[in-house]
Amino acid sequence: MRFLVAFLFAFRLVQICSASALTLWYLQPARSGMNEALAIGNGHMGGLLFGAPDLEHVNITEDGFWTGGENPSGQDGTMGNYQTFGDAAVLLPAHTNAVNYRRELDIGTALSRVSYEAGGVKYQREFFCSHPAGVLVARFSADKPGSYTGQIELRDSHGASTVVWTNRLTAAGVLDNGLKYEWQIVVVPEGGSVESNGTSLAFSRCDGLTLLIAAGTDYAMDYTNHYRGQDPHKRLTALLKAASEKSYDALEQEHEADFWSLFDRVTLDLGPSSAAQRGLPTDQRHLEAFQKIDPELERLLFQYGRYLLISCSRPGGLPANLQGLWNDRNDPPWHSDYHANINVEMNYWPAEPTALPECQLPFFDLIDSQLPAWRKATAASPEFKTPSGEMSARGFAIRTSHNIYGGMGWKWDKTANAWYCRHFWEHYDFTRDKDFLRNTAYPIMKETCEFWEDHLETLPDGRLVVPKGWSPEHGPTEDGVSYNQEIVWDLFDNYVRAADALGIDGEYRDKIAAMRDKLLAPGIGSWGQLLEWRTEKTNSEPGRLELDTRDDHHRHTSHLFAVYPGHQITPATTPALAAAAKVSLDARGISPDSDVREWSFAWRTALYARLGDGDDAHKMLQQLFSGRNTCPNLFGLHPPMQMDGNFGITAGIAEMLVQSQDGEIQLLPALPTVWPEGSVKGLRARGGFEVDESWKEGKLAGASIRATAPTTARVRYGAKTVDFSVAPGKPVTLDGSLKRTGE
């Protein structure tokens, strides 16, 4: 028994030490808004923390807080914007001239802290946003009693009046679109006194303070009720009542246990960094990491994407938008919306391979809730007349941008419907949840196949093409654009697999399979590149880069969808097309003079990984540490800030270590030379598998494969493959030569 207790203690100590290495830390408060503030969230509500000693302000967001509506015009400027509630401000006028300052976010525990000394007193603040309690918690403590005197304000971004009652601040209002919103702050003092000061709360000589914050709207993912539900007041009041009846320690323990149940599924070791690297604050360290390899910071960047996804996308809420969950202004860039031509999809690339499948469920819920409005807009659009001249009667399409009310804006991204379907299929392919496939994924996949059955055009040679498509975000509009062709091929291929898995719709399945095989495939151009358009482009418009030439350094690599996230082009199954894809990818380049962005490098990391080029994949990863591509708080910097690159690079690193798109589990398919030793535990593979692996001197040292149901696995390392049966609860362990061990 003593041995067991000692083991558990040692195991927890290892966890704590491991978590402490996953900390962003700074020697000064945040100054420039979202580029420096530290983010916490419970999947539904978020907080941005700034940390000034004399004025702490927590910017509050909630995922359903949107202006706009169904937007039948399709104009981008009338679609509405994601909003911010405003700031919960704690004024501490005596806390000037602070010394020994430190601000940090431990992504291993989802806790943020601020510490400093002022007037001979040591102060600490601790913040977390609890998913179980549904509230944001902030605790202010000191090493001497009676040290807190100041004021708490609720600064509503829409000008709503603050109501003060005992120890509670409340603001509520209605947006122009009729959306009701409310937020409340409950103050729990330790010693001293708290009293109303007009529209704020004044506190005097308190030993400490705990703030509980809740925010919400009457938004509901329900088209039949115009996306409206219950007034948020009763729900918020109940959440705060329940939270205030628990101790701070109980709230923290409940929060950490919930967070760890997701975060701890995957661990990664890429080797040690130097003591000098560890000694740098994050805003300096990430710039150094752009110049010199910093394995532990690369590990942190991988886990940061998982931390952010857990924090901004949980079941029952809305999916991550362009800024995840966080927003400090009411006119955010690009509305802080959902961009369908890669951005929202990239947000969810890491969900399945890094063991966070439930974090993707909000994306499916949002899509399902928007379908009635999207179908109506598609049926009314002359752009979607069928080849016979009829208006669209089946399915839906999506514009490049959309909100949460069925409204869309800007250019139609015709095949985004099929790209969205890829995520439904991937969720099944990784989890093997047949109820999800049957009841949720399959109906939408089939409806989208029906849409493309109605809209594809037939060339004289019998090949099928998407009419009047576009390669985001440049080039001409024409038939048979590679981006569109590849995505429809992906839809049809995944639909065939779905029908086979369910054993239904055999006749329609065969029809779609035949159409898939007739789709025009991308060609190879004069300098060996994968063609982005149906025919090679040699002339450019005045002032534009040449298209389909080595001088085209556009940020998008849309025509490489078939490499990643798709599976139509692989080195094993289509070597000539894979070689052409690499020529195109190399030509896009990474020049600072080009318009390549943070998410571009994340995508290119995954693309090089799929092509088996670990060293170039790592070069793309390292670009994320440039001050041009990453904010001081490690948010992606487009500029301005957006978060898809944070999620995308997590997925890209996972692709470097484990792949499974060819019906086999590939171990270390793109290991870079700069990671000679390391290990990863808990990555997921298609087919319902979980994978651990370790490597030494750049070679596989061992692996463990687990399965959720009885099945057969094919595992590849380099040129060698092995097949074996896997039973639930009985992992198969392999050595570096793929020989089974432990038998």
- Judge if 350 and 260 occupy the same domain: no
Q: What is the pLDDT of residue 590?
A: 84
Domain's final residue, options 521, 541, 559? 521
Report pLDDT digits (tens) over 143-160: 999 999 999 999 999 999
User: Residue 545 above 80 pLDDT?
Assistant: no
Q: Which residues pair with 189 in a beta bridge?
A: 209
Q: Which of 209, 232, 264 marks a domain boundary?
A: 264
73 and 214 inside one domain: yes
Give pLDDT, residue 1: 37
**This prediction's pTM:** 0.96
Q: Within a domain: residue 632? A: no
Q: What is the reported pLDDT for 13?
A: 41
Q: What pLDDT score does 742 carry?
A: 72
Q: Does position 14 have pLDDT exceeding 70, yes or no?
A: no
Do 258 and 138 belong to one domain? yes
Residue 614 pLDDT? 98
Residue 427 in domain: yes
Q: Predicted confidence band at 406 (pLDDT cuts at 50, 70, 90)?
A: very high
Residue 298 inside a domain? The answer is no
Q: Which two tokens stand for residue 493?
A: 């291929």
Whether 260 maps to a domain, the answer reads yes
Q: Specify whether the CB–CB gap between 95 and 51 falls below 8 A.
A: no
How many domains does the chain contain in total? 3
Tell me, what's the pLDDT at 543?
A: 52
Measure the CA–CA gap between 171 and 174, rounded to whole angstroms: 11
Cβ neighbourhood burial of 385 (10 Å; 0-12, 13-18, 19+): middle
Segment 312-335 mean pLDDT = 97
Is residue 131 located within the same domain as residue 220?
A: yes
CA–CA distance, 158 with 587 (Å, rounded to integer):
48
Among 216, 237, 264, the domain-final residue is 264
Q: Is position 2 within any domain?
A: no
Q: Assess whether 395 and 255 both reside in one domain.
A: no
Query: Same structural domain for residues 373 and 257?
Result: no
- Show the domain range for 703: 678-741
Residue 593 has pLDDT above 80, yes or no: no
Report the run of H or E that residue 174 belongs to, with start and end. Answer: strand 168-174
Q: Please tell me whether residues 415 and 510 are part of one structural domain.
A: yes
- pLDDT for residue 439 is more than 70: yes
Q: Is 128 inside a domain boundary?
A: yes
For 264, other C-beta atoms within 10 Å of its C-beta total 15
Residue 471 lies in a domain: yes
Averaged pLDDT, 277-292? 97
At 10 the pLDDT is: 40
Residue 204 in domain: yes
Residues in the chain: 743
Reduced DSSP (H G I as helix, E B as strand, rest coil) percent helix, strand, coil of the chain, to 5: 35, 30, 40
Rounded distance, CA 59 to CA 676, Å? 42
Residues 99 and 237 in one domain: yes
Q: How many CA atoms lie within 13 A of 629 on its CB side?
A: 28
pLDDT at residue 609 tops 70: yes
CA-to-CA distance for 667 and 683, rounded, in angstroms?
11
17 pLDDT band, cuts 50/70/90, is very low
pLDDT band at 542; cut points 50, 70, 90: low
User: Is 242 found in the same domain as 364?
Assistant: no
Instruction: Give the relative orientation of helices 614-623 and 598-610 as an angle to the nearest 10 degrees.
Output: 170
**Residue recorded with tokens 């040290």:** 147
Reading phi first (left if > 0) and then psi (alpha if -120 to 50, else beta), residue 134 is in: left
Q: Can you give the CATH number for the domain in which 40 is found?
A: 2.70.98.50
- DSSP E strands, 595-739: 658-659, 665-667, 678-685, 689-696, 699-707, 711-717, 720-726, 732-735
Helix axes 416-431, 482-502, angle to 10 degrees: 40
Asked whether residue 629 carries a pLDDT value surpassing 80, the answer given is yes
**Per-residue pLDDT at 283 exceeds 70:** yes
Together in a domain, 351 and 254: no
Distance, CA of 61 to CA of 380 (rounded, Å): 35
Summarize pLDDT for 197-212 with one digit per residue, the tens. 999 999 999 999 999 9
pLDDT for residue 18: 42
Three-state DSSP at 24 gives: strand
- Tens of pLDDT, residue by residue over 178-204, are 999 999 999 999 999 999 999 999 999
Neighbours of 222 (CB within 10 A): 11
What is the rounded CA–CA span in Å between residue 77 and residue 369? 22
Is the pLDDT confidence value at 701 over 50? yes
Angle at the Cα of 425 from the Cα atoms of 424 and 427, rounded to 5 degrees: 70
DSSP code at position 437: I
Of 292, 147, 280, 246, the closest CA to residue 206 belongs to: 147
Whether residues 352 and 221 share a domain: the answer is no
Extract the tokens encoding 445.
């996949």
Assess whether 242 and 122 both reside in one domain: yes
Q: What is the CATH number of the domain that holds 481?
A: 1.50.10.10
Tokens of residue 672, six digits:
């870079």
pLDDT in the model for residue 540: 60
Token pair 């009338």: residue: 78
Q: How do strand 135-142 and strand 148-156 relate by DSSP bridges?
A: unpaired
Cis preceding linkage at 710, omega within 30:
no
